[in-house]
Chain A
Amino acid sequence: MMMDMNPDDALADRDTPTSDWRPAGERPLSDREVPLRHDGAMAALNAWLDGEAPAPRTANSQLTPEAELWSRISVEAASRRKLRTPSHVAAQIMNALPSSTAARLVAAPAFHASVTTVARAQPAPTAPGRISMPPTAIAIMAVVCMALGAVFARMM
């Protein structure tokens, strides 16, 4: 049995010839070509692999052959999970970064949030050309400027 995963575009797919020239046996299996086996064994296997049920076993408490296979696949998958990036890759990436776009980092709040979360890094430096000042200092400077303006006006 085939199940349509995307009913909205089913018609479009039917009308569009496939772009893959290879015979059916050589093409990768598309989502819809994977037959759904509605047997209890596969359902039990999926439930087990999703952590919703115990492992399927035979009458003498052994894992079923399918469960045994998936147990081995799980071991292989777990070993792949420990794989680390080759050490030279990070340096390669950093060397390949364009320098002209570095200034854009300052304007990216998500970038700073990520960096702060990841490394508890120092606060980002102020963007070139921008001056940051507390509001109190701005108010004091304004008062001083007005006073100076008044003094100059009297002198003239």
Chain B
Amino acid sequence: MAGDREAFAVLVTKYSDALYRHALNMTGSPDVAEDIMQASFIKAFSHLGEVRGRFDAWIFRIVANGCKDWLKNIRRSHVSYEEDDQPSHLTTPDEELTRSELRIDLDWALGQLSHSLREAFVMKHVEGRSYEEMADMLDSTVGALKMRVHRAREALQALLEGKYA
């Protein structure tokens, strides 16, 4: 049994970075991302007998669903985690040019998107996945995901261009 735990630890080490990045960019909170990761790996460990196909795609779907559920719940409970990250319009033009500000604004803008648009954008731009890989992991088509990424870009463009473009 100890050997199996060690073997599972190999999987945790191998996939945790990519999964953590996804959870963090979907939720905007390091603490929530850690909680989702932990819950997802425990769930995976308890249901390993049900794995069909690739482990990485399977665990990704568990994490993605965890993020989706969290976003649903946080919106239902009327708590906006983006509130503290609202872009400030009181800063000087010099400060606005700093990268940290773009980071905050991008987080805020991502928080304005629906779950599916945000997921598509994060997978394409932040995780650097190809459309084919995304289609495989989300059980969708390249065309549908391309459209979703285009919509996300247009929405982000509309949200940010007043300040940056």
Shortest Cβ distance from residue A93 to the other chain B in the assembled complex, whole angstroms: 5
A34 to B38, CA, bound (A): 34
Shortest Cβ distance from residue B65 to the other chain A in the assembled complex, whole angstroms: 17
Contacts of B3 in A (CB 8 A): 122, 124-125
The interface on chain A, measured as residues whose beta carbon lies within 8 A of the other chain's beta carbons, has a size of 65
Decide if A69 touches B160 in the complex (CB within 8 Å): yes
B interface majority secondary structure: helix
User: Residue-by-residue, is A71-84 near B (CB-CB < 8 Å gives 1, otherwise 0)?
Assistant: 01111111011011
Interface check B46, CB cutoff 8 A: yes
Decide if B125 touches A77 in the complex (CB within 8 Å): yes
**What band does the interface of chain B fall in when counting residues whose beta carbon is under 8 Å from A?**
35 or more
Shortest Cβ distance from residue B30 to the other chain A in the assembled complex, whole angstroms: 7
Q: Which of A21, A35, A92, A94 has the most CB of B within 10 A?
A: A94
B residues with CB within 8 A of A: 1, 3-5, 7-14, 16-17, 19-21, 24-25, 30, 34, 37-38, 41-42, 45-46, 48-56, 58, 75-76, 78, 99, 102-103, 106, 111-117, 125-128, 131, 144, 146-158, 160-161, 164-165
A residues with CB within 8 A of B: 3, 5, 19-21, 28-31, 34-37, 42, 45-46, 49-50, 65-66, 68-70, 72-78, 80-81, 83-86, 89-90, 92-94, 96-99, 101-108, 110-115, 118-119, 121-122, 124-125
